[in-house]
Chains A and B, each alone.
Chain A
Amino acid sequence: MADLTSDFAGIKSPNPFWLASAPPTDKEYNVRRAFEAGWGGVVWKTLGSEGPPVVNVNGPRYGAVYGADRRLLGLNNIELITDRPLEVNLREIKAVKRDYPDRAMVVSIMVPCEEEAWRAILPMVEETGADGIELNFGCPHGMSERGMGSAVGQVPEYIEMVTRWCKQFTRMPVIVKLTPNITDIRKPAEAAAKGGADAVSLINTINSITSVDLDTLSPEPSIDGKGSHGGYCGPAVKPIALSMVSEIARAPETAHMPISGIGGITTWRDAAEFLVLGAGNVQICTAAMTYGFRIVEEMKAGLRSWMDEKGYDSVAAVSGRAVPNVTDWQYLNLNYVTKARISQADCIQCGRCYAACEDTSHQAIAMSPDRVFTVIDEECVACNLCVNVCPVENCITMEEMPVGAIDPRSGDRVDDAYANWTTHPNNPAALKAAE
């Protein structure tokens, strides 16, 4: 049976599922419940400097985006770092780590961008027996206005500087948590690497306003009629996170760094996707906040049975396996030709594929008077929109045309040779190279 134990940047845990730094990890009570439920580790909710703690708003902190049947697809928050005294958090971290020595205990930290501030807090954290620290350079709301969180994460030089201080002042592994509110995620990751970081974790939340109350005209969540942008997370952000993780995993400057994957992970399948795209472990928050800690059971069982089916014996064996398949558009094989195929046995004749193709795409689906929908190969560019809008899973599929067949749309014979844009005659750069 596949081994789920994880060694992430030297931090060991019985499985690769950690709870991300967030409300679920703000207190001893919650974290004990999480460990009892079987989570492999936690990143304790971000600690600030000694002294009076930050305060939170006293109105709603979260806003949501729903799918059908009020399924939570996206959540945003305007909560700040922990609003409990530093000493209370440190005492609790120590107590929990003592009772659960096999679990990963990582502490998230956000203090001002001054060497003294970091020099002061790191020994106190180290004293708890914690396994590592995560530098919160990501939160986009509230703290960023005070020059912390994403305000640091958006300046690679700051990231490098602070990371270096931390490596200097503590023996603990340093994980740098990155903000996605930046143009090129590779730059802050490179900066972390230069500063000596042991790993990066991403993504933190995305700047967002989830909705506006159309009676009061207040953005949500509404605090006395006003709203502020918050950090967006949940299933809706997963695609953004997957892309960013893969970019860091395949960039030569950062490929060596362990990545803790974060962003909308809700099921074992999501977790496996992050792992194969280069993550060494995963962190979860919204799914736990939506369904409770028990979801980790499904995640562990699902990941393990998938690994067994595929013959992967360890998490390390899974990590990064799909990274070689992430490439640039210009290297995609233009001789790969597919056509949509509609299974008439599975079709429920809703006609959404027809509406999508006829109204907004290529007029490549025919509708008979008795509602039989068929693909017109002469028009089908294989865009996949029909597959995406079909409510029945696997009813419409994309079938590869065999080598040698004539694509009725282009009139070209399907070639088995790989050919991409870099050599395509329509590419001016390619023509120039040929001259």
Chain B
Amino acid sequence: MSNTPMTPGVVPQRLSRTDYADGFSDMHPPLDAHEALVAADRCYFCYDAPCVTACPTAIDIPLFIRQIQTGKPGDAAKTIFDQNILGGMCARVCPTETLCEEACVRETAEGKPVEIGRLQRFATDTALVTGVHPYQRAEPTGFRVGIVGAGPAGLACAHRLAMKGHDVTIYDARPKPGGLNEYGIAAYKTVGDFAMAEVDWLMEIGGITLVSDTALGRDVTLTELRDDFDAVFLGVGLGGVNALRAPGEDFPYVQDAVDFIADLRQAEDKAQVPVGRNVVVIGGGMTAVDAAVQSRLLGAETVTIVYRRGRDRMGASPYEQDHATRHGVRIVTGAQPLRVIGTDTAEAVEFAYTEETPEGLRPSAQTFQIAADQVFKAIGQTLAAAPEDLTLDGAKIAVTGMGRTSAAGVWAGGDCASGGDDLTVTAVAEGRDAAEDIHVTLIGASEIAAE
């Protein structure tokens, strides 16, 4: 520990070894077998259960919990994977407090929902450690599907297609597969290199070829893919980042929060990741919270999230907001950045309080400054480059039905596609559903051809 939280500038090693180990340990430690039974006993096995309705992938939650109750966590895992092949990651990162657990009738009854997320993790972890992949491929169909993006949408799509006997090739711009599971999620939500292990396990179905370091538009074009494959699925995510559009944005350590989160995830030794003494995070979503909390865990003395609207409008759920404040993060709302102040490096950020006007949100004359030697921008991601020929819906690829784009034979899902929340679980659902639609389309076309 060569530095302390008070050391000025952006430096590594602000804390002791133990502090790093504690800070980046599992955020929600797994349930042990006894805890899982106690938690499972609380499920009422509701009719047409609200938790299932609330789950974007519609996992049969009462069934899998009943399977845990009856001593069959492996069967429970199969119930989960049938709907959500990335059920292990979703158990870790889903905002369950705004999905299944918010809908749980015991939340209504007692304000304490069944711990669905942790039970799901118990079941899926049990299955993953066996190392046995629970699905087998159907007879080969001879069809070939190209997928761009090895994130949750692409992986879910690939697995479902492979299961149905199609041959799949996934292209990904990054060196490792997993997309945001690997690069975008706070380290303490997925410890022990889980994302990579989950992808390896998923790939065991067979029939999926992964091509890394290959980006759409740079190394391969949509036209080429449409020529080479019988169908194409785009799960490219949102590679671009919104700019601050404020003076001082070019100072060193005025960074995109997503890059910081990715670098931190990939860092073998968290102690070597530099962090500012005073960190300001601009934005109000999960990315802002992940960047802010992890800055504190790296030893930043002060961390402030500044969001332009009220708390109720923040993308981060109240649970996530509490998570941030519990870690000593200050949340300032109703203020927007005017400029980053500094000479060679950032020293502070000047903000103006905002006010709602008929023309929209406007900065008021009231300003203030917050000291900052590191500034994270977490004000939303955008589609990096819209592939040629595709109709957009706002800033995203327009899709209808089960992920059909405006181009024949091209589907899209996940964050890059219109509709749905930008959640891992939503991406999985969209990838899976697109695969079903691709399958029906390919098989249907071949049957018509055969007649």
Contacts and interface: CB of A to CB of B under 8 A. Distances in A.
Nearest to A71: B41
Contacts of B108: 348-349
A69 B47 CA distance: 22
B106 interface: yes
A68 B46 contact: no
Contacts, number: 34
Contacts of B219: none
Contacts of B42: 68
- For this complex, into which size category does the number of interface residues on chain B fall? 10 to 19
Nearest to B53: A371
- For this complex, into which size category does the number of interface residues on chain A fall? 10 to 19
Given A391-B109, A392-B109, A352 B38 contact: no
B44 interface: yes
A354 B42 CA distance: 19
Nearest to A214: B71
A350 B46 contact: yes
B227 interface: no
A391 B50 contact: no
B41 A69 contact: yes
Contacts of B106: 348
B45 interface: yes
Interface in A346-403: 348-352, 354-355, 367, 371, 391-392
B48 interface: yes
Which of B44, B46, B47 counts the most chain A CB atoms within 10 A?
B47
A250 to B, nearest CB: 39
Contacts of A351: 46-49
Given A68-B41, A69-B38, A69-B41, A348 B105 contact: yes
Contacts of A352: 44-47
A350 B41 contact: no
Interface in A263-277: none
A391 B47 contact: no
Nearest to B106: A348
A377 B228 CA distance: 64
A350 B47 contact: yes
Contacts of B47: 350-352, 354-355, 367
Given A355-B47, A371-B50, A391-B44, A350 B38 contact: no
Contacts of A391: 44, 109
Nearest to B45: A352
A184 B44 CA distance: 38
Contacts of A348: 105-106, 108-109
20 contacts: A68-B42, A69-B41, A70-B37, A349-B50, A349-B108, A350-B44, A350-B46, A350-B47, A350-B105, A351-B48, A351-B49, A352-B44, A352-B46, A352-B47, A367-B47, A371-B48, A371-B50, A391-B44, A391-B109, A392-B109
Given A348-B105, A348-B108, A349-B50, 9 more contacts: A69-B38, A348-B109, A350-B44, A351-B46, A351-B49, A355-B47, A367-B47, A367-B48, A392-B109
Interface of A: 68-70, 348-352, 354-355, 367, 371, 391-392
